[in-house]
Amino acid sequence: MDHFQIERAQRLSQLPPYLFSEIDKAKRKAIEEGIDIINLGIGDPDMPTPENIIRALCDTAANPANHRYPSYEGLLELRHEFSLYMKRRFDVELSPDNEVLTLIGSKEGIAHLPLALVNPGDFVLIPDPGYPVYRASTVFAGGIPYTFPLLADNDFLPDFDDIDPQIAERAKLIFLNYPNNPTAAVADRGLFERAVEFAKKHNIIICQDAAYCELAFDGHRPVSILEAPGGKDVAVEFHSLSKTYNMTGWRVGFAAGNRDIISALGAVKTNIDSGVFQAVQYAGIAALRTPVNIAADIVSTYAERRDTLVDGLNSLGWRVPKPKATFYLWVTVPPGYTSTELTTMLLKEAGIVTTPGIGFGRNGEGYIRMALTVKKERLAEAVERIKNIRI
């Protein structure tokens, strides 16, 4: 019998193995070998979803009216709640009818955006280091990824003047992400004002990934790109309930901003998915109405964990700065190691899973990322384990 050969699409060959999938494989292998793992690799909250959100899901899941196809753009009631959040949090006015779109998590919307906007051969400007989905979604749309560096010397912020003007003229889209994954850098309104100016000059659409905008510490309040003058002319911002309310598995978020961009993204989604399960949308409404003290308690827990791990690593001479936002540490690799070598050694000798910076792009080399998604006692134990090995 002739061997039937499956040939993958060529575009898949342009992608490295998905970083977090590879980390998960390494973690599972270590567990199978009997190693007690402290997993600081993937940003998946370990705390439970607040009770009021769970109750809303249970109550509405029992209603047969919610068992049918939902609307493609999401319940108007939920979109209204999203727009109220943007007004309350950023003083940004948005129409729930055409400037807000419900997503199956912000990752889904970000991944589909290039399909809505990018033609084959268009350049897409991507931060390096950066969330791997920006590059992958560009490749899937036939775009050409062009990276711009995020460097410590510039506080991991883009220098728009340093982007090749000829490339900028051919670019269709730029990805921004503040508060930033993986560097934990934050941006002020001035950065977003410069981004809008750059976008208007070169006719580039901005995608600002704001998934971590509610995880901020020490009085820092992240801003929205839609606050910048002219922001709504050129930008769409992606928000998620995943990190703010410990809802990573629930898959609900939203895109907000320019109505033409929202419409284009909605046209892609209409042809690809059937929307968010309606009971989950009602849970999303409950999330956005969650008492302020519950969300504050979540942030306070991460701040305590941040201090435990940063202070512990610094006591070992690691020189780790305290981030103002996100639940990540972006840690400089000690001399004599690459990021991959250090993550491998930490796993094998200390049972600690971390993420090599090189997985986020060439400029991520020299760093590892640690996620604050385990209890502070385990973080203190991780410090002790590192203390007991030679680095």
- pLDDT at position 81: 97
Contact yes or no for 343/355 (Cβ under 8 A)? yes
* Residue bearing tokens 């901020």: 216
Q: Which pair of structure tokens corresponds to residue 346?
A: 């930490």
- Is 391's pLDDT higher than 90? no
- Is 1's pLDDT higher than 80? no
Confidence of residue 29 (pLDDT cuts 50, 70, 90): confident
Report the interhelical angle of 19-32 vs 339-350 (nearest 10°): 20
Q: Do domains 15-44+293-387 and 52-288 have the same CATH topology?
A: no
Handedness of CA 309, 310, 312, 318 (dihedral sign): positive
Q: DSSP string of 96-162?
A: TTTSEEEESSHHHHHHHHHHHH--TT-EEEEEES--HHHHHHHHHTT-EEEEEE--GGGTT---GGG
- pLDDT at position 176: 98
Q: What is the rounded distance in angstroms from the CA atom of residue 202 to the CA atom of residue 29?
A: 48
Confidence of residue 18 (pLDDT cuts 50, 70, 90): low
The stretch 32-49 carries a mean pLDDT of: 89
CA 176 to chain centre: 10
The stretch 272-282 carries a mean pLDDT of: 95
Confidence of residue 390 (pLDDT cuts 50, 70, 90): confident
For residue 234, what are the CA distances in angstroms to 91, 193, 198, 210?
18, 11, 10, 16
Query: Which uninterrupted H or E stretch holds 256?
Result: strand 253-257
Nearest to 40 by CA among 312, 300, 338, 365: 312
Q: Give domain limits for the chain.
A: 15-44+293-387, 52-288
Fold of 15-44+293-387: Aspartate Aminotransferase, domain 1 (3.90.1150)
The stretch 71-93 carries a mean pLDDT of: 95
pLDDT digits (tens, 9 = 90+) for 282-296: 999 999 999 888 889
For residue 245, what are the CA distances in angstroms to 53, 152, 295, 329, 377?
9, 30, 7, 20, 22
- Is 20's pLDDT higher than 80? no
The stretch 243-258 carries a mean pLDDT of: 96
- pLDDT at position 31: 78
Percent of the chain at pLDDT > 70 equals: 98
- Is 33's pLDDT higher than 90? no
Between 163 and 295, whose confidence is greater?
A: 163
pLDDT digits (tens, 9 = 90+) for 120-153: 999 999 999 999 999 999 999 999 999 999 999 9
Beta strands 355-356 and 100-103, pairing class: unpaired
pLDDT digits (tens, 9 = 90+) for 205-250: 999 999 999 999 999 999 999 999 999 999 999 999 999 999 999 9
Confidence of residue 19 (pLDDT cuts 50, 70, 90): low
Q: What is the rounded distance in angstroms from the CA atom of residue 216 to the CA atom of residue 300?
A: 9
The stretch 196-205 carries a mean pLDDT of: 98
Architecture of domain 52-288: 3-Layer(aba) Sandwich (3.40)
- pLDDT at position 8: 86
Q: DSSP string of 261-321?
A: HHHHHHHHHHHH-----HHHHHHHHHHHTS-HHHHHHHHHHHHHHHHHHHHHHHHTT--PP
Nearest to 253 by CA among 234, 238, 268, 275: 238
Mean pLDDT of the chain, nearest integer? 94
pLDDT digits (tens, 9 = 90+) for 327-375: 999 999 999 999 999 999 999 899 999 999 999 999 999 999 999 999 9
The stretch 13-33 carries a mean pLDDT of: 73
Q: What is the DSSP letter of 47?
A: S
The stretch 306-322 carries a mean pLDDT of: 96
Count how many Cα atoms sit within 13 Å of the Cα of residue 379 in the half-sphere of its side chain: 25
For residue 135, what are the CA distances in angstroms to 183, 216, 267?
17, 26, 22
- pLDDT at position 180: 98
H helices present in 141-215, as ranges: 165-170, 189-202
- Is 25's pLDDT higher than 80? no
Q: Which pair of structure tokens corresponds to residue 324?
A: 């103002």
pTM: 0.94
